[in-house]
Amino acid sequence: MSTQAPSASRSATDPPPNKKLELLTGRDRAVLAVMVIIPALFVVGLVWLPALISVLLSFTRWNGIGPVSDIDFVGVQNYVDLVTIYPSFFPAVQNNLLWLVVFFFIATPLGMFMAVLLDREIRGSVFYQSALYLPVVLSLALIGFIWQLIYSNDQGLLNAVLGTQIDWFGDADINIYAVLVAASWRHVGYIMLLYLAGLKGVDPALREAAAMDGASEARTFFSVIFPAMRPINVVVLVITVIEALRAFDIVWVINKGRNGLELLSSLTVSNVIGEASRVGFGSAIATIMLLFSLVFIVIYMISIYGERENR
């Protein structure tokens, strides 16, 4: 009884939630308003407004140069042309799906495996963690330049080791797989960092309870630790999907997303700012990418808010 009395007295003196705002001074309210309004304006002006304009332009035909009065409303004709007469659309969708499959089933599990190994604090774990994380701080464009040196058909490291002269980035039959290896090099380090942070936050009592029950390390991880990291798993899922959809830099520096490296993002850029300058058509491709991303973002938001309501 004596141990519960102080907490009871404190809870009795705490103001109700709807009364807390009344305790704020005018200066506090002004600071809070500035902290909310300014970031909101940046998000609306730099994210939501351009996205909304792109969606609206996807129903028009415009070269992006003339006045607004030159914009012609064409309805869903841009979307119809995408799936009927645009030859690069379905190869780009196929490459984006392949990007997602490789990231989800190869790069992400490999990053998780590396995190599990480093979480055991093996000798040299700091060095390995730094080496695996190093590609994450590099842009995909820079990674593309680095792997061009590795894949070069005459002076590349890979051909020198294998004794071949394969044009890894120039051959349309294999260049997408070569690019995926380079992109996965970066993605593995990113996922490793996320899961390593998640593993550090897992309650050690869960491991001890599983060990007392006689569970093996693999059984403990997949039956106890992995489910306990559900928020991290959801974040990794959303990040993997978004990374697969917004992949652009690395293919653009290689061959501007052509000759087997077509992606939805590269098609958007080539149509909007390319020689054709078809802003409405490019906006239609960007809108399709936005819809794909929104599906997984909504799943993420539902998961996060669902957990908060259950607490």
Question: Are residue 96 and residue 52 in the same domain, yes or no?
Answer: no
Flag whether 68 is in a domain: no
Are the beta carbons of 229 and 199 closer than 8 angstroms?
Answer: yes
Question: Are residue 107 and residue 252 in the same domain, yes or no?
Answer: yes
* Amino acid (one-letter) located at 242: I
Distances (CA, A) of 11 to 4, 6, 7, 14, 48: 11, 9, 6, 5, 42
Could you tell me the pTM of the whole model? Answer: 0.80
Q: 10-16: list long-range contacts, CB under 8 Å, 24+ apart.
A: none
Question: Are residue 243 and residue 192 in the same domain, yes or no?
Answer: yes
Flag whether 12 is in a domain: no
pLDDT band at 14, cuts 50/70/90? Answer: low
- Across 97-106, 162-171, 224-233, 238-247, which has the greatest mean pLDDT? 97-106
Flag whether 101 is in a domain: yes
- pLDDT computed for residue 310 by the predictor: 63
pLDDT band at 52, cuts 50/70/90? Answer: very high
The whole-chain average pLDDT of the chain stands at 83
Question: Are residue 226 and residue 163 in the same domain, yes or no?
Answer: yes
User: Looking at the predicted structure, is the pLDDT value of residue 11 above 60?
Assistant: no
Q: Give the model confidence (pLDDT) of 112-145 as tens digits.
A: 999 988 888 777 778 888 888 888 888 888 898 8
Residue 86 DSSP symbol: -
CB atoms within 10 A of CB 77: 16
Q: Give the model confidence (pLDDT) of 185-206 as tens digits.
A: 999 999 999 999 888 888 888 8
Question: Are residue 93 and residue 139 in the same domain, yes or no?
Answer: yes
User: Looking at the predicted structure, is the pLDDT value of residue 1 above 80?
Assistant: no
Flag whether 172 is in a domain: yes
Flag whether 2 is in a domain: no
pLDDT band at 99, cuts 50/70/90? Answer: very high
Flag whether 98 is in a domain: yes
Q: Within 13 Å and on the Cβ side, how many CA atoms surround 34?
A: 6
Question: Are residue 49 and residue 150 in the same domain, yes or no?
Answer: no
Q: Give the model confidence (pLDDT) of 160-183 as tens digits.
A: 888 888 888 888 889 899 999 999
Question: Are residue 297 and residue 169 in the same domain, yes or no?
Answer: yes
User: Looking at the predicted structure, is the pLDDT value of residue 21 above 70?
Assistant: no
What average pLDDT score do residues 260-283 get? 86
CATH of the domain at 203: 1.10.3720.10
Question: Are residue 52 and residue 95 in the same domain, yes or no?
Answer: no
- pLDDT computed for residue 92 by the predictor: 92
Question: Are residue 107 and residue 28 in the same domain, yes or no?
Answer: no
Instruction: Give the separation between CA 94 and CA 238, rounded to whole angstroms.
Output: 19
- pLDDT computed for residue 307 by the predictor: 64
User: Looking at the predicted structure, is the pLDDT value of residue 6 above 50?
Assistant: no
What average pLDDT score do residues 19-47 get? 81
- pLDDT computed for residue 109 by the predictor: 93
- pLDDT computed for residue 79 by the predictor: 94
Domain of residue 294: give its range. Answer: 88-310
Count of domains observed in the chain = 2
Of 230, 226, 203, nearest to 304 by C-alpha is: 230
- pLDDT computed for residue 19 by the predictor: 54
> Bigger pLDDT: 248 or 299?
248
Flag whether 66 is in a domain: no
Question: Are residue 171 and residue 25 in the same domain, yes or no?
Answer: no
Flag whether 289 is in a domain: yes
Question: Are residue 33 and residue 138 in the same domain, yes or no?
Answer: no
Question: Are residue 190 and residue 250 in the same domain, yes or no?
Answer: yes
- pLDDT computed for residue 15 by the predictor: 54
